Copies of this chain bind each other. A is one copy, B any other.
Amino acid sequence: MRRHAEFDPQDFLPYLLNQAAEALSLEFQRHYRGQYGMLRTEWRVLFHLGCYGEMTAKEICVRARLHKTKVSRAVAALQTKRFLTRRELERDRRHAVLQLTAKGNRVFADLSRAAHAFDSEVRAAMTHDEAEVLHRCLVRIARFETVQRTG
């Protein structure tokens, strides 16, 4: 049936990578979406604040490689959910340091635990060596030449 036998979608890395990423994202969504009504970007922002501690929106943009509008909206949503607070800096009132509330920290702790468990579950499908290689390759690919989008 195949006409251009020289190229199977499964062998095209962007395609395969997307399939894999989507499979995992969709599965993990259940946790932050189902339990807390959060969107993916909100989860990412919370995740970063939880992992690294307080920081400005700009820092999140750079670290998480998210566009500032996405972060802006996610922060607003997390704020109305009372998961974080913003504190303006006097020395430069353009910046606002974001910080998880106690509630936000509890949610982070819960999701962090779920993430850990999920991660282990996925890793169980491969050997330790394979996981090492996978990680190394993904990091390399993630750093692959991309257009500016941290604006």
Contact = CB atoms under 8 A, between A and B. Distances in A.
A97 B119 CA distance: 41
A18 B144 CA distance: 13
Tell me how many chains of this kind the complex includes: 2
A115 B1 contact: no
A151 interface: no
A13 B17 contact: no
A27 interface: yes
A116 B136 CA distance: 23
A142 B14 contact: no
Contact of A2 (B53, B64, B141): B53
A3 B126 contact: no
Contact of A130 (B9, B52, B137): B137
A26 B141 CA distance: 12
B47 A15 contact: yes
A26 B147 contact: yes
A74 to B, nearest CB: 15
A16 interface: yes
A56 to B, nearest CB: 13
B133 A24 contact: no
Given A3-B51, A21-B20, A118-B14, A136 B142 contact: no
A24 B14 contact: yes
